[in-house]
Amino acid sequence: MSLLSHVSVSIAYLASALAATLATGYAVPNLEPTTLVIVAGLMVVLGINVHQAVICWDRDNGMAQEFNQMKQAQTLLIKEMSLSRREMQRLRESVADGGQGAVDEQKLMQTLLVRLTDQSGGGSLRLPGPGEAAEIAVTRKGERIRLEDPPARQGTAAAPHDPWVEPGRMVNLRLVADALRTNRVDLYLQPVLKLADRKPVGFECYTRIRDGDGRVLPPSEWIPLANAAGMSAAVDNTILLRCMQLMRKVEKKSVHMTFFCNVSAHSLRDEDFFAEFTKLMERNRPPVGQLVFEMAQMDFTSPDPVVRAHMDQLAELGFGFAVDQVINLDLNIEEFAERGVRYVKVEAEQLLMNEGLKGKSGIVATLRRRLEQASIQLVAEKIEQEGQLTTLIAMGLVLGQGYAFGQPKLSRAAA
């Protein structure tokens, strides 16, 4: 309590004592003056005791708060020290494995972490504190987006299930940033196999994020928010670094595997980070064909000049592309080949459905032959049943992936 508060309370109980004395004298006219003085004194003593009790409670409460703050600070310090020790250990191991490349990766990781709190491109990210969950902590070009004001404010209609208008999703945005800072972004691998003998020829890399309790968040719960908050580049590139570390370990075993790393148009639009990333790639190029960047058909065919320019830079460095989430099988194969596409992934169900259309028998075989003539391989993805596998082999498909061969699994080597 402040000095003014103490003075105010003292005046209050003195006034109360005076009022009680006057009221007693009025109610009992024959009382001796001495008795009235005793009544006033008792009221003053009572006020002092109550005042003292309030002071003690306030002091104890303040000490308890300070103790809790010290305990939280100690816990945070222990976590930071533990994280620093892990990072130093990983750095020593990486330097032993990859020399300058590992140092470059550490510098790039630092860039990622800094950009979580100071995005110099299209927006900035500020995580809300406890009590600020009602407001989305993202600004773009000086305009703050609130949960009460979904993207419709910027000229687009909010979908019924738009994550921006679901307050519970704000927690997941905080989890993404915390996961990036505390190394809870994991690399999961799903094999790409030769269908005939089920021998793996590569792995598709998936990003998985854990919360503080170790629960893995489904991608649908955080990817839309990460894209909208400008964090997708940090997520994509964190997993790329994990993939590169894994590739160095695979190289030591003299085993050639292709790693399909997903990258979004959101990441390719990130001018500042892409410059750092290309420097890293120029100095640490993996063997040809070992690293393939996988993109959705919609992103790959995007007319965005920045995305196209960055894709061309990656192609010039010798990296190939895989196009997935194919909606239209009427592909411009010549353009795909010129731009460095090495794989086209189509869902097994879509391939089987097109092959079964009346009057279109052999359409998949024709597509596969045209792709092979352009040195592009057709991959059947999301194969979930043995019956699908048998039919796909009969249709001439060579490569495939899906739950029929196993779910994506955590890569311990890159953890």
Choosing from 57, 76, 95, the residue where a domain stops is 76
C-alpha 372: how far from its chain's center? 37
Decide if 259 contacts 202 (C-beta within 8 A): yes
Do 46 and 194 fall into the same domain? no
- Asked if residue 173 is part of any domain, the answer here is no
Distance separating alpha carbons of residues 388 and 264, to the nearest angstrom:
29
The SS3 assignment for 205 reads: strand
Tokens of 202: 């590569």
**Strand bridging mode 258-262 / 200-210:** parallel
Q: Is residue 28 part of a domain?
A: yes
Residue 89 domain-assigned (yes or no): no
pLDDT tens-digit profile, the chain (415 residues): 666 766 676 677 677 767 777 777 667 676 667 776 777 777 777 777 777 877 788 777 777 787 777 777 777 767 766 776 676 666 555 545 544 544 455 555 555 555 554 443 333 333 334 333 333 333 333 333 333 333 333 333 433 344 443 444 555 677 788 887 888 889 999 999 999 999 999 999 998 988 888 888 888 888 887 777 777 777 887 888 888 888 888 877 777 899 999 988 888 888 877 887 788 778 777 787 889 999 999 999 888 899 999 999 999 888 999 999 998 888 999 999 999 999 999 999 999 988 766 555 678 888 999 999 999 999 999 999 888 999 999 989 999 999 999 889 998 765 5
Question: 3-state DSSP: the chain helix, strand, coil percent, rounded to 5?
Answer: 55, 15, 30
Domain boundary among 58, 76, 94: 76
Please indicate, yes or no, if residue 134 is contained in any of the structural domains: no
**Residue 375 pLDDT:** 95
Question: Which of 46, 76, 106 is at the close of a domain?
Answer: 76
Question: Number of folded domains in the chain?
Answer: 2
- Pair 268, 400 in one domain: yes
286 in a domain, yes or no? Answer: yes
222 and 355 in a single domain? The answer is yes
Is 166 inside a domain boundary?
no
- On whether residue 100 sits in a domain, the answer given is no
- What range defines the domain where residue 216 resides? 183-410
Q: Do 340 and 319 contact (CB within 8 A), yes or no?
A: yes
